[in-house]
Amino acid sequence: GALGGLGLALGLWRRQAALAAAREDEEEKELRQRFMAPPVSGLRELRRRRRELRSRMELLIMETQAEVCRALTALDPGASFAVDSWERKEGGGGISCVLQDGEVFEKAGVNVSVVSGLLSEEAARQMRSRGKSLKAKDGKLPFCAMGVSSVIHPKNPHVPTMHFNYRYFEIEEADGTKQWWFGGGTDLTPTYLNEEDAIHFHKTLKEACDKHDPKLYPKYKKWCDDYFYIKHRGERRGIGGIFFDDLDSPSKEEVFQFVKSCAKAVVPCYIPIVKKHCHDSFTPEEKLWQQLRRGRYVEFNLVYDRGTKFGLLTPGSRIESILMSLPLTARWEYMHTPLESSKEAEILEVLRNPKDWVH
């Protein structure tokens, strides 16, 4: 009797194990279809540590990448993303998805990276200059950084360029304590000003922030205007959005949920604007103005952008992915000044004096 009972229990256990394995396989297949490529940390590892914030953040950035790529492909069906998975010998890797020379998008890149290793001295110095007290052990600081980052440069000058980035950072100090923080933002860079679009973009981001705290949007909107400032030109890179960095309170879970809301707002804040204008007619003069504005975009990214600087200072980082944010074409003309009261002068006025778009 006891043996029979044991056999029954064993059979039941085998059946349950087979069911669990089948469920896992199903889940794995579904995840594979949901993403643009297998995740850097591997599906098994992510499932094993699925309650840890690092794994949940990696899943969120993978989902955001796929969501944005699919939304862009739906608008530019003739074009497709080249999907490029890469490894970093110092630890980790990433997935770069880049579309070039489509009908609607001249260049669109959506990158995910999950890297770990030891922080370089220059990168640590850059962080300390922002007020981080980092206590290294024998000069070594183990870190883990992950994020999704995208820049979309459309062909039509009436469709704005858009950038977003959401990231998580963890550093282990000499005594084993971990410092962590989130950063990110979404911002819009139009060639020509369309007030209706600006209001839609800002309102969508404000709604995402308001779910968590009505004080967040005004604070991060101002931060965005201040951050994307091309000092040597005396103008902003675009009409802003939201931006934050070093965010480590009230709690890990609450900040993660806030970042998730922001990431989920990317498609609704931008795609309707692309749909509305991607077939607008434009003149050679308007195309020229777009090229000159793109030159400003390049100036900001190469001179001031913190993410670009960090990437260039990190050993083994992938230069092609870091410079993916640069447009396919841009132009620098000597002493170019738009005519007073022109549409070109109108956007410059807003770039010099940021506006409140939601009140």
Give 291-303 pLDDT, tens digit per residue. 999 999 999 999 9
Q: Pick the catalytic residue: 163, 200, 202, 277?
A: 163
> What pLDDT is recorded for position 138?
66
| Calpha distance 199→286 (Å, rounded) | 23
Residue 349 in tokens = 């006025």
158 is catalytic: no
> What pLDDT is recorded for position 12?
82
Pick the CATH number of 33-352 from 3.40.1500.10, 3.40.50.10320, 2.130.10.30, 3.30.70.360: 3.40.1500.10
| Calpha distance 152→174 (Å, rounded) | 40
Q: What angle do CA 357, 213, 267 make, to 5 degrees?
A: 55
pLDDT digits (tens, 9 = 90+) for 238-257: 999 999 999 999 999 999 99
List Cβ neighbours of 89 (8 Å cut-off, separation of 6 or more).
316
| Calpha distance 111→205 (Å, rounded) | 21
> What pLDDT is recorded for position 354?
96
DSSP 260-319: HHHHHTHHHHHHHHHHHHTT----HHHHHHHHHHHHHHHHHHHHT-HHHHHHHHSTT--H
Residues of the chain with pLDDT under 50: none
Residue-range domain boundaries for the chain? 33-352
